[in-house]
């Protein structure tokens, strides 16, 4: 860890001051063309084309991102009329996403256990389609909240903050295994788990709909996902993913307000980390994590406006390479031969998150334009 701290601080020396140049991008003005919905959808199309060309090598993390992106496209098509050329392009792209998403049906070499359940059930664009839009658009003027946040951090020593963050980033839970196991408890139905033993197997077409499922969460998952326990880094984003999936399941015995408040609490904690990463001018070491933070907090119920910062989105889209992918360059560069053609230019997790981000921010802007 000490070596990691020294490496990062050497790479980012002076970047806190240099990061101030990003303030020039801190407005949608001047970035409208690059970040417009059509531009983001074209970028998504390039990434999906890579997936189509490498269909046999697709991984579950990349497929999950495509499923989330596909859900955004289908929501765009359902929410109102589009100019005919735009509608045709979005429809064509959604069909390509359908094809990519279908790869999950032919992947048989899943890891055993909870990971297979989670992968199979979350890689489904219907699960991720938006049912409720935020009450207010996400791209309104945010200068007041950003000034307030900047003032709160003025007195902090960023280098000391980064050292503390690097020491804490592996702390807390859930672990990756716990995350999969707890998500599987949310996702499997009553025939596969003990959530709900009240299902009526004798229902008829004219009978009343079955009652909403009830959640029975194991003691281990209740502890791992507790809001009272602090988490950092991927542990924290995985905890947020749990609460996002929990909200979508709409269990009869789970208070929706409690879940929404939990998401907001977690995103407020994540915001401190995202801010720190941005202040160091987005070190490559943290770009994948930063993208996951922005995606999940923008996807959450009643998202914090800070996560629609155009400077942040502008930085993210600039990381898309010429092949259409996103790649982590920490230990190898673009074009270095990987296990297969896909991984030569693409980090599958980072590219999956990138696909979801492009689709989500295209949809959010189109919603704002229609208000």
For position 368, what pLDDT does the model report?
79
Residue 274 is encoded by which pair of tokens?
């995202």
Residue 132 is encoded by which pair of tokens?
């409720």
For position 140, what pLDDT does the model report?
52
Residues 6 or more apart whose Cβ sits within 8 Å of residue 98: 70, 125
Tally Cβ neighbours within 10 Å of residue 341: 14
For position 204, what pLDDT does the model report?
53
Backbone angles phi, psi at 46, to 5 degrees: -60, -40
**Can you tell me the distance from the alpha carbon of 365 to that of 52, in angstroms, rounded to the nearest whole number?**
27
For position 96, what pLDDT does the model report?
98
CB distance 313 to 333 below 8 Å: no
For position 243, what pLDDT does the model report?
97
Q: What sign does the CA torsion over 224, 230, 234, 239 have?
A: positive
Distance set, CA 70 to CA 75, 77, 170, 291, 359 (Å): 9, 11, 32, 18, 7
Which class for 353: exposed (0-12), middle (13-18), buried (19 or more C-beta within 10 A)? buried
H-only helix segments in the chain: 2-12, 15-18, 32-35, 37-53, 60-78, 84-101, 114-122, 125-128, 143-153, 158-168, 176-187, 219-224, 233-249, 256-279, 284-299, 310-318, 341-345, 348-370
Ordered mean pLDDT values, 10 residues apiece, the chain (371 residues): 40 42 49 89 98 94 97 93 94 97 76 71 92 52 46 59 80 89 83 37 53 88 94 96 95 94 96 94 94 97 90 96 88 59 90 98 87 62
Q: List pLDDT tens digits, range 264-319.
A: 999 999 999 999 999 999 999 899 999 999 999 999 998 899 999 999 999 999 99
């Amino acid at each position: 860890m000490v070596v990691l701290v020294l490496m990062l601080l050497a790479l980012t020396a002076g970047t806190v001051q240099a990061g101030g140049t990003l303030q020039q991008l801190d407005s949608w003005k001047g970035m409208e063309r690059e970040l417009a919905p059509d531009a983001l959808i074209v970028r998504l199309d390039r990434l999906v084309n890579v997936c189509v060309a490498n269909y046999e090598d697709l991984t579950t993390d990349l497929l999950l991102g495509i499923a989330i992106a596909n859900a955004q496209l289908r929501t765009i098509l359902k929410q109102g009329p589009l100019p005919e050329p735009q509608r045709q392009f979005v429809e064509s792209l959604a069909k390509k996403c359908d094809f990519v998403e279908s790869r999950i049906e032919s992947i048989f070499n899943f890891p055993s256990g909870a990971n297979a359940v989670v992968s199979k059930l979350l890689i489904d664009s219907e699960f991720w389609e938006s049912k409720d839009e935020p009450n207010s658009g996400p791209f309104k003027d945010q200068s007041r909240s950003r000034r307030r946040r900047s003032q709160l951090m003025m007195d902090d020593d960023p280098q000391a903050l980064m050292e503390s963050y690097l020491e804490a980033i592996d702390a807390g839970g859930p672990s990756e295994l716990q995350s999969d196991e707890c998500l599987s408890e949310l996702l499997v139905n009553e025939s596969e788990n003990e959530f709900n033993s009240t299902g009526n197997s004798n229902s008829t077409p004219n009978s009343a709909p079955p009652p909403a499922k009830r959640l029975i969460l194991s003691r281990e998952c209740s502890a791992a996902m507790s809001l009272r326990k602090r988490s950092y880094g991927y542990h924290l984003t995985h905890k947020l993913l749990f609460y996002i999936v929990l909200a979508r399941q709409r269990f009869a015995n789970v208070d929706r307000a409690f879940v929404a408040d939990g998401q907001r609490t977690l995103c407020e904690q994540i915001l401190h980390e995202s801010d720190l990463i941005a202040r160091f001018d987005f070190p490559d070491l943290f770009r994948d994590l930063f993208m996951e933070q922005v995606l999940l907090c923008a996807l959450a119920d009643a998202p914090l406006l800070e996560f629609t910062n155009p400077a942040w989105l502008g930085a993210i889209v600039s990381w898309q390479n010429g092949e259409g992918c996103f790649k982590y360059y920490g230990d190898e560069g673009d074009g270095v031969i990987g296990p297969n053609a896909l991984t030569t230019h693409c980090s599958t997790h980072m590219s999956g998150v990138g696909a979801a981000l492009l689709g989500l921010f295209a949809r959010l802007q189109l919603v704002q334009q229609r208000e």
